[in-house]
Homo-oligomer: A and B are copies of this chain.
Amino acid sequence: MFDIALIGAGRIGRIHAANVAAEQRLRLRYVVDPMAAAAREVADGAGADVATLDAALADPAVKGVIVASATDTHLDYASRAIAAGKGVFCEKPIDLDLARARSAAGALGGADVPLLLGFNRRFDPHFRALEQRLRGGSMGALETLHIISHDPAPPPIDYVRVSGGLFKDMAIHDFDMARWLLGEEPTQVYAAASCLVDPAIGGAGDVDTARIFLRTASGKLCVISNSRRSGYGYDQRIEAFCAGGLVRADNVRETTVEAWRAAGAAADPLQNFFLDRYAAAYRAEMAHFADMLAGAAAPGVGYADGIAALALAEAAGRSAAEGAVVTL
């Protein structure tokens, strides 16, 4: 059983704390957070102690560190934990600044650095099944890809202001999905974006609606659909068009219940919240972290993936601003 230190007792930190508790091979030992009450609450619920980061890193029993603090601390805390010899699970994004992220690649980006980046969708059972179907080869070569990723409703405008913008905050997941599934790096990016959902988002200098095009060197095409508001729940679908047909992963409904009436058949709503939709992904991600600490698996997604997704997000932002195709 591996002792774990959790940095960050906010919403996502609590998810990870619960999944550490449910994962038999992990035990939460320390919670680190400048908000003392939050740290205390999470620690008490798990039988863990509140500690400073230094203290947690100094304990040789701690084998793994989960970095779930504010985005601008990710690089620093991850670097310190790696330097202390811990395995690290770092939430996405690695940073909002591509140059800064690249400058840390020496310490964090090596193939032998035990850093797992929290691109949770790679662990979603639906998307994994799709990916395995593609890898299995029975569908023939992938040709084009369509990723739909629409949020139920926009985040608070205060969050929008510090989020890094739609491309770095929201589409970053989709860039990672695209790279994972295409099996090739995009070489061209074109992004078209509008502010159609809420003028306040435009006022904050951001967009709320986008379509992003990626092309790889071999000519594979990918379209990403993003919206900050669907009006019908969390729309998370992928369609992969292959030489032998289509593989797709559909949305997840709250229940299978339908009501049939004269006006038609009404199905239950889609899952509306990312923590519900990706609950299984978060659990599987933590199990993978345990595998990694046990030496049974290399990190399934790492620092280089974080850099690559961030570079695409930056290119997309540039394309949208300039109205032109960006070549990488």
Cβ-defined contact, A144 with B227, below 8 A? yes
* Interface flag for A194 (CB, 8 Å): yes
Question: Complex formed: what's the CA distance from A259 to B140 in Å?
Answer: 12
A interface with B by C-beta (< 8 Å): 22, 24, 45, 125-126, 129-130, 133, 138-141, 143-144, 146, 150, 188, 190, 192, 194-197, 209-211, 213, 215, 219-221, 223, 225, 227, 230-233, 235, 241-270, 323-325
Tell me whether A258 and B248 are in contact (CB under 8 A).
Answer: yes
State in angstroms the CA–CA spacing of A22 and B279 once bound together.
Answer: 15
Contact A241 B213 (CB under 8 A): no
Closest partner residue, chain B, to A261 (CB atom): B245
Contact of A215 among B141, B192, B215, B266 (CB under 8 A): B192
* B143 near A262: Cβ-Cβ < 8 Å: no
Asked if residues A213 and B215 are in contact (CB atoms below 8 Å), the reply is: no
Contact partner, A258, options B243, B247, B269, Cβ 8 Å: B247
Residues on B with C-beta less than 8 A from A252 are 256
Are B213 and A194 in contact, with the CB atoms below 8 A?
no
- Knowing A133-B259, A194-B221, A195-B219, the reply to whether A211 touches B144 (Cβ < 8 A) is yes
- Contact at A267–B268, with CB atoms within 8 Å? no
Further 15 A-B residue pairs, CB within 8 A, beyond A211-B221, A246-B258, A260-B270:
A139-B259, A143-B227, A144-B209, A192-B221, A194-B221, A196-B220, A211-B223, A213-B213, A225-B241, A231-B244, A231-B246, A245-B259, A247-B257, A247-B258, A265-B270
User: Which single member of B143, B210, B268, B270 contacts A129 (CB below 8 Å)?
Assistant: B268
Contacts of A250 in B (CB 8 A): 256-258
Residues of B within 8 A of A266 (CB): 263-267
Do A223 and B221 have beta carbons less than 8 Å apart?
no
Q: Are A257 and B129 in contact (CB under 8 A)?
A: yes
Partner of A246, one of B255, B260, B269: B260
Cα separation A253 to B24 with both chains bound (whole Å): 27
24 contacts between A and B (CB under 8 A): A22-B22, A139-B261, A143-B209, A143-B227, A144-B227, A188-B323, A190-B213, A194-B215, A194-B220, A196-B219, A227-B241, A230-B260, A231-B246, A232-B246, A232-B260, A232-B262, A245-B259, A245-B260, A245-B262, A246-B258, A253-B264, A266-B266, A323-B325, A324-B325
Q: When the two chains form their complex, are residues A248 and B257 in contact, meaning their CB atoms are under 8 A apart?
A: yes
- Whole-angstrom CA separation of A227 from B221 in the bound complex: 11
Residues of B within 8 A of A220 (CB): 194, 196
Q: Which single residue of chain B is at the shortest CB-CB distance from A141? A: B196
Contact of A325 among B188, B190, B251 (CB under 8 A): B190
CB proximity of A265 to chain B, nearest CB, Å = 4
Nearest to A247 among chain B residues (CB) is B259
Cα separation A321 to B77 with both chains bound (whole Å): 47
Are B190 and A192 in contact (CB-based, < 8 A)? yes
A221 to chain B, nearest CB (A): 5
CB nearest to A252 among chain B residues: B256
Chain B nearest CB from A134 CB (Å) reads 10
A141: min CB distance to chain B, Å: 8
- Please measure, in the bound complex, the distance between the C-alpha atom of A232 and the C-alpha atom of B244, giving whole angstroms: 8
